[in-house]
Structure 1
Amino acid sequence: MAKMLYQGHGSVRFKMNDGTVIYLDPYAGEGYDLPADYIFVTHEHHDHNEVDKMPHAPNCRVVTEKDAIRGGQHLTFNFTTFQVRAVEAYNSHHKKTECVGYIFLLDGKKVYCAGDTSTTAQMADMAKMNIDYALLPIDGVYNMGPAEAAKCAAMIGAAHVIPVHMAPGQLFDQQKAEQLDVPNRLILHPGEEIEL
């Protein structure tokens, strides 16, 4: 099974069974020691795109929102051992054409990384996707807050909901994380790794 390391803020590292290492929105925390095979960036804000923070494996591929949206369409990437689908991410601080979320299919598990967003039209469709983990921002400043994120979680219907991007300039905020009032909440602390 793939492993997911929460690094803090909106930063995550996945390591698949075959050893493939994938970083999402590198910026915060620790755990940048493993060479990246793939790096995914949801948008170009400085707290999501430090793509040189870790060593790069030969042929490392960096995928940004510019790669993920073509002609207004969100693309799906089929790699040798995993799949990634780009989905909408937007709000008053983030343009629909400049931000994406990603749904990863890793070793049989689906992980939705929402990026910087509030409620999107696509979230209602995600209930059919049987998502295992949904990582939702809850800062309530540049993204939706905990109450709106709880409504999104109900729409998405993921087995587990993980609060991320909790407060500007902070890796983690326990009080804010606990404000996400959903029955399937899973709070991860920076540096905590789980098996998906």
Structure 2
Amino acid sequence: MKLIFHGHSCFELVLSTGQVLIFDPFITGNPQSDLTLPHHVDAIFVSHGHAHHVGDMIELSIANQAPIIAVTELANYAEAHGAIAYPMNLGGSASLPFGFVKLMHAQHSSSLTLNGQTHYVGDACGFLIRAEGKTVFYAGDTSNFGDMGLFGKAFDIDVAVLPIGGRFTMGPSEAAMCATRLQAKTVIPVHYNTYDTIRQDPKDLQAKLPTGVVQVLKSGETFNL
């Protein structure tokens, strides 16, 4: 299995079978993205309803006949716009063709602006994926909160993908505390430097955790699990 970063919070897990799982597919309009459409995916995970996370989910789903895995309200929105949806909810889990999925709590808002009006599209979430003997936790947009310690006790987390942008999510200091609570073997920072409002130096996170734990990826770079 390999993890490929595509800028902002978008990344893919590519399995040994060739299956491609994409997370928060912000491609069009993403100044960091190395991807262009059309693009092959087998499943689409969307953590919440902000434009720079929802991104191209509907176009990708329709083009690839790939399910969008998301909280019920967001999944229903996607289905109403022609996508294939696989609705779940916080704390729920499922065994899918590529492995085990569990929706994890996150602390963040979730809405979409349509025709100038803001619409609630369910709670924000994170995803825990277990496939090919590895466990990946994508926290989504969130703060550091106490239950991260429970996640770390309940799951042997190989890779935690954590936001560090500050202002709208955790910053580097909070992400370091979160990583410690999760007991993650490897931490990959995301959701920073896309815009001036989330300008951060990932070295600040590296300095707060043991050497080698934090893997900083540029857009298009790969981490092998």
Q: In the alignment, which residue of structure 1 is the partner of 2:103?
A: 86
Counterpart amino acid of residue 145 in structure 1: G
Root-mean-square deviation (CA, aligned residues, Å) is: 2.3
Give the 3-state SS of the residue equivalent to 1:155 in structure 2.
helix
Counterpart amino acid of residue 221 in structure 2: E
Equivalent position to 1:113, from 138, 143, 167? 138
Give 1:77 shift: 1.8
Higher helix share: 2
Contact 1:5 1:13 in 2 (8 A): yes
| Structure 1: segments with no counterpart, 5+ residues | none
Q: Name the TM-score, length of structure 2 as normaliser.
A: 0.76
Give the 3-state SS of the residue equivalent to 1:179 in structure 2.
helix
Q: Name the TM-score, length of structure 1 as normaliser.
A: 0.86
Equivalent position to 1:61, from 50, 58, 67? 67
Q: Deviations over 1:94-132 (max 9, x none)?
A: 69x510000111211111100000023431112221100
Contact 2:61 2:67 in 1 (8 A): no
Looking at structure 1, the residues matched to 65 and 220 of structure 2 have their Cα atoms a distance apart, in angstroms, of 27
Do structure 1's residue 130 and structure 2's residue 130 form an aligned pair?
A: no
Contact 1:136 1:162 in 2 (8 A): yes
Contact 2:60 2:66 in 1 (8 A): no
Looking at structure 1, the residues matched to 3 and 59 of structure 2 have their Cα atoms a distance apart, in angstroms, of 18
Contact 1:42 1:100 in 2 (8 A): yes
Please show how residues 20-99 of structure 1 align to structure 2 within 5 Å.
Answer: 20-27=19-26, 28=30, 29-31=33-35, 34-50=39-55, 51-52=57-58, 54=60, 59-66=65-72, 67-69=87-89, 73-91=90-108, 93=109, 98-99=123-124
Q: Deviations over 1:3-55 (max 9, x none)?
A: 11100111011111111111100104123554111000000100001214547
Query: How many pairs were matched up?
Result: 188
User: Whose Rg is larger?
Assistant: 2
Q: Which has the higher contact order (CA 8 A, sep 6+)?
A: 1
Higher strand share: 1
Do structure 1's residue 12 and structure 2's residue 5 form an aligned pair?
A: no
| Structure 2: segments with no counterpart, 5+ residues | 73-86, 112-121
Q: Which runs of 4+ in 1 moved over 6 A?
A: none
Contact 1:113 1:134 in 2 (8 A): yes
